A and B are shown apart, each in its own frame.
Chain A
Amino acid sequence: MTFEDWFRKDRLPHIYCAGCGNGTIINCTLGAVDAMGWKKEQTVFISGIGCSSRAPGYIMTDSLHTTHGRALAFATGVKLANPALNIVVFTGDGDLAAIGGNHFIHACRRNIDITVICMNNQIYGMTGGQGSPTTPKGRLSTTTPYGSAEPAFDLCELAIAAGANYVARWTSYHVRELERAVKAGLENPGFSFIEAMTQCPTNFGRRNKFKQVADQVEYIKTHALLKAKRDRMIEQGEKVADDLFVIGELARRNRPAMGVKP
């Protein structure tokens, strides 16, 4: 089997815009799921609302496309009621960090044995480009027409502080590393959180002077700072620029987890 065998082919074509990074992240996730050797009938994909959350609809396992922000609460019910099932949640920055923020920190605290893939495009894509809790300060969106005035959330730091067992951040450019991180998350018992920074050409790129999709991917690539390098810079007293974000495996630990397969 390959990752392609997990798709519901009768659901194509998909809704994603040309140049969207979500397909790349779904492929990486399914590649990791496939490498786990999981059975389709024992695997459930769960999501909330938004572009990222449409992913389970294209996958041929049992899947639950829920209400905005609530995917982790639904997933908690599924996993506790039947720990034999493998649970993967797709979410986005608006779904997870804004309306779903409380469910996010409590799912981390419970350390429930599920893997969460957050496609962070720093904007509300499906509703047409409104600012989200991860829209960087100064960036343009339809609800921040003069530039976002609010600081952005660091979702990985939030997950670590709240107790997640595995936390990593990669991007839609770093496909091999992303797939490996997802697999590590699937293998690690407890709550695994993988954030994938991604481009939204239609709603973020267009308003923020990225003329081509490749320009935004290039931006993501050049502004991603490896954790080891970041740590070295801090050690040597170098200043880390504000517009950089850290990539790599950020936490791996063994706090007691809930809902682990017997």
Chain B
Amino acid sequence: MTKTEFWQGNTACAEGALAAGCTFFGGYPITPSTEVAEHMALKLPKKKGIFVQMEDEIASMAAIIGAAWTGARVMTATSGPGFSLMMENIGFAAMTETPCVIVNIQRGGPSTGQPTMAAQGDMLQCRFGSHGDYSIIALCPASVQEMYELTARAFNLADQYRVPVFLMADEIVGHMRERITIPENLEHISRRELVPGRLPFQAENDLIPGFATFGKGHGVHVTGLTHDERGYPCATNPGVHAALVQRLVHKIEDATNAIADYDVINPDAGQVVVAYGAPVRTVQQVLHDGGGTDTGFLRLRTVWPFPKDALEKFSNAQVFVVPELNMGQIAREIERHVKVPVISLPRLGGDLHTPAELIKALEAHA
């Protein structure tokens, strides 16, 4: 029988992680993400899991990567300033193909900014924040239900693609309380272990190598340096570097459609709103209230890799309108993929666009 709860988004995130089999959480307190760590601190020891509060977010990221190599499903949670500190080791996780889940309950930035107010200002940072070329996966929940479900899915994606997966939530979704139905069964995709005869960084057809869990006798060398298929440093051979970086990018970008999760509403419309995270709620309200029957809605749950094919579902689109809690970070991405105008509707300061504001904007660009 399914169970119904009335939970805060951050609680649902932690519960989704526990349901997905997360056994290691390393973190550092930061508003507005702290409840995720607090809930994990409460629950993990009872499940024989490990909660450790590290000395900073650099160490939190390091600790979860270390734990991941023992085979554990691992997670950390943070917000803007902590997210900036994590960038160094996020790059290490990308380079070493370490499965890990990073929750970012976004708040207003730059710098210390607005600790208790919502924003979506880290959407490009999660994609490009660490140095060098690589790809990642980012999911954006718009409800408490999705805080649970997308967190759980993040672990499957991390294990399947051997990549850092980001739950890019925001203060609104993290702190709102609403009813949630706990799914009876969750899909579980296991990490593929390295098989004898294959090298620890030798990719299979899906561009992903088998995982050489520590303690199993693989004798794997894991380094952030450019490495060959054996895992040995090979930092001055241009061919080895190019092949490695291209594989790190392609293993994710080539799987965009398999990873993609979005809803297409009113695909014949001429005017299309694209939204993810908390602003989805405003769009849903406007559609619910009947504001413009000629309004299409592309509602994204995966933002990276960007599901550009979703835009083509709106074959009559004359204009895309993109309300975001930033200065147009994803509007910029959409502009790369369409030939019609893209109107960015930035909203800064922590509040959502009101339905009236959105309707006004839609009328102005009808």
Contacts and interface: CB of A to CB of B under 8 A. Distances in A.
Contact of A70 (B50, B62, B233): B62
Interface centre among B60, B63, B64, B219 (most CB of A within 10 A): B63
B: contact size bracket: 35 or more
Interface stretch (A80-88, A143-151, A195-203): A80-88
B117 interface: no
Chain B interface mostly helix, strand, loop or mixed?
Answer: mixed
B70 interface: yes
B216 A41 contact: yes
B55 interface: yes
A248 interface: no
Interface of B: 23-24, 26, 50, 52, 54-56, 58-60, 62-72, 74, 88-89, 92, 212, 214-225, 232-233
A102 B224 CA distance: 21
Given A41-B217, A44-B214, A57-B223, A64 B69 contact: yes
A2 interface: no
Interface residues of A, number: 33
Contacts of B50: 80-81
Contacts of B67: 77-78, 80-81
Most buried by B among A8, A62, A77: A77
**Per DSSP, are chain A's interface residues mostly helix, strand or loop, or mixed?**
helix
B65 A74 contact: yes
Given A65-B222, A65-B225, A106-B59, A81 B216 contact: no
Given A75-B66, A102-B55, A81 B219 contact: no
A76 to B, nearest CB: 5
A62 B218 contact: yes
A67 B88 contact: yes
A74 B233 contact: no
Nearest to A15: B233
Contact of A65 (B26, B89, B212, B221): B221
Given A62-B215, A64-B69, A57 B24 contact: no
B59 A76 contact: yes
A84 B215 CA distance: 9
Contact of A67 (B52, B60, B92): B92
